[in-house]
Amino acid sequence: MLNSVIVVDDEAPIREAVEQWLTLSGFQVQVHSRAEDCLANLPEHFPGVVLSDVRMPGMGGLALLARLQALDADLPVILLTGHGDVPMAVDAMRDGAYDFLEKPFSPETLLSNLRRALEKRQLVLENRRLHEQADARSQLDATLLGVSPGLQTLRRQVLDLSQLPVNVIIRGETGSGKELVARCLHDFGPRANKPFVALNCAAIPEQLFEAELFGHETGAFTGAQGKRIGKLEYADGGTLFLDEIESMPLAQQVKLLRVLQDKQLERLGSNKPIKVDLRIIAATKPDLLEEARAGRFREDLAYRLNVAELRLPPLRERREDIPQLFNHFAQAAAQRLGRKAPELSAAQLSQLLTHDWPGNVRELANAAERQTLGLSTPEPVALDAGPSLAAQQEAFEAHCLRAALTRHKGEIKAVLHELQLPRRTLNEKMQRHGLLREMFV
């Protein structure tokens, strides 16, 4: 909270008086008699101010200031000094202290200093938050590639949901990138430094499913040699990604529901409950509620999992993204294979834009690797409703702009000369296609 104050003073009367003044004035107050206790109990990203006496047994206020500065150079520290310590406190302000108060001080003076320090802290934290959001958006743009409206919406949804402690269902066709989106939900959220555990429910034989999910103790069943940690337990603190969850056996659905409700599990062969804190992200092709109505999936589990839902558009619905995605996969394949990345001709790009892509992004990545190896691009597939001429023109224009910017490493004058465009027209087209000069420098 942005009205939090930590008070450090070895004199109990001062601690108690300051705590009383601040509490009555609406502040959230922690008090410590030792600097060491302050450091041991300092919350991560503390949003408030530290108020510390200078002279204390053990670690003094100046040493505490240095330690706090090392943890967070922008954390406001106000020092409490005796009359003889004023020159020392002035030097401390040059070293990063926010201010100092000479004892005895009035409640009004203390409150005035604290409010100014908290206002500064609020500005610093808001600035950090905006920078972090901008960095996250930039990183996500480089991970979930595409300029189509569907991808722009998806990126916004992923950034929002990554911060929320809710389970998520990801719906999409085979090859549309469900695991990549699940990984982004984990990596851009508060659980990023904890495990991300992926399990494909369709790839596990039913008789092994429970042991895979819950783990087992030695001798829990024939062949259970040694203790094994299950996926649920391994994901503790982090994220469990359950791909093709519609394939999960009904018997295991019941047990998974109980884990989500009780936040604990038992390994096979054990009666000891183990607490777990995890987020479930599940991927599915069909609608889980329709599966539940058909009796193939538990309705209560479907509701428990489907707190939020993300729909991944198939590649045929985001054709304007095909040139950028193809170029990305071709560059990656060229680097991996020690080849030169191919440059697409207009005919080859037309083939890419008119293909149906039943395998979605995964199929496109394969096509890019084949093209890098000198093999052919996919043949067009007849579509029920093919891309319009306008959509193909937009995609081709984006491809040409991206290719020119890549060739000239973002040098705008060279791009203007090659494409014979006025500066204003190029700016408008780059903005429409989501292209920034910085992406190519």
pLDDT of 220: 63
Nearest residue to 70 via CA among 37, 102, 42: 42
Evaluate whether residue 241 is within a structural domain. Answer: yes
Band the pLDDT of 82: cuts 50, 70, 90.
Answer: confident
Percent of the chain exceeding pLDDT 90 equals: 50
* Residue 279 near residue 196, CB atoms below 8 Å: no
pLDDT of 386: 55
Amino acid at 246: E
Question: HSE-up of 152 (CA within 13 Å, CB side)?
Answer: 8
Evaluate whether residue 135 is within a structural domain. Answer: no
Evaluate whether residue 162 is within a structural domain. Answer: yes
Tell whether 332 and 296 lie within a shared domain: no
Evaluate whether residue 138 is within a structural domain. Answer: no
Among 290, 313, 336, the domain-final residue is 313
Tell whether 25 and 72 lie within a shared domain: yes
Tell whether 212 and 104 lie within a shared domain: no
Average pLDDT over residues 34-60: 91
**CA 77 from centroid of its chain's CA atoms:** 31
Evaluate whether residue 214 is within a structural domain. Answer: yes
- Beta bridge partners, 275, equal 264
The residue count for the chain: 441
Model confidence over 308-339: pLDDT tens digits? 999 999 999 898 899 889 989 999 999 998 88
Tell whether 212 and 269 lie within a shared domain: yes
Evaluate whether residue 136 is within a structural domain. Answer: no
Model confidence over 211-252: pLDDT tens digits? 889 887 876 666 667 678 889 999 999 999 999 999 999 989
SS3 percent helix, strand, coil of the chain, rounded to 5, is 50, 15, 35
Pairing state between β 99-102 and 77-81: parallel
CATH code at position 124: 3.40.50.2300
Model confidence over 138-161: pLDDT tens digits? 888 889 998 888 898 999 999 999
Tell whether 280 and 183 lie within a shared domain: yes
Tell whether 296 and 326 lie within a shared domain: no
Structure tokens at 408: 């000239």
On the question of pLDDT at 381 being above 60, the answer is no
pLDDT of 96: 86
Percent of the chain exceeding pLDDT 70 equals: 94
Please, which contacts does 125-128 make with residues 24 or more away whose CB atoms are closer than 8 Å? 125/2, 125/45, 125/47
**CA 144 from centroid of its chain's CA atoms:** 12
Model confidence over 157-210: pLDDT tens digits? 999 999 999 999 999 999 999 999 999 999 999 999 999 999 999 999 888 888
Give the whole-angstrom CA distance, residue 20 versus residue 63. Answer: 26
Among 129, 160, 186, the domain-final residue is 129
On the question of pLDDT at 18 being above 60, the answer is yes
Among 129, 162, 186, the domain-final residue is 129
Other beta carbons within 10 Å of 177: 24
- Beta bridge partners, 239, equal 196, 279
Evaluate whether residue 252 is within a structural domain. Answer: yes
Model confidence over 108-139: pLDDT tens digits? 999 999 999 999 999 998 888 888 778 888 88
Tell whether 304 and 431 lie within a shared domain: no
Tell whether 277 and 155 lie within a shared domain: yes
Band the pLDDT of 1: cuts 50, 70, 90.
Answer: low
**CA 223 from centroid of its chain's CA atoms:** 40
- Beta bridge partners, 50, equal 6, 77
Tell whether 149 and 294 lie within a shared domain: yes
Pairing state between β 4-8 and 49-53: parallel
Tell whether 309 and 342 lie within a shared domain: no
Q: Count the domains in the chain.
A: 3
- Beta bridge partners, 200, equal 243
Sheet containing 196-200, strands listed edge to edge, beginning at the edge strand earlier in sequence: 196-200, 239-243, 279-284, 168-171, 308-311
Q: Which domain holds residue 147?
A: 143-313
pTM: 0.69
Tell whether 284 and 332 lie within a shared domain: no
Tell whether 77 and 187 lie within a shared domain: no
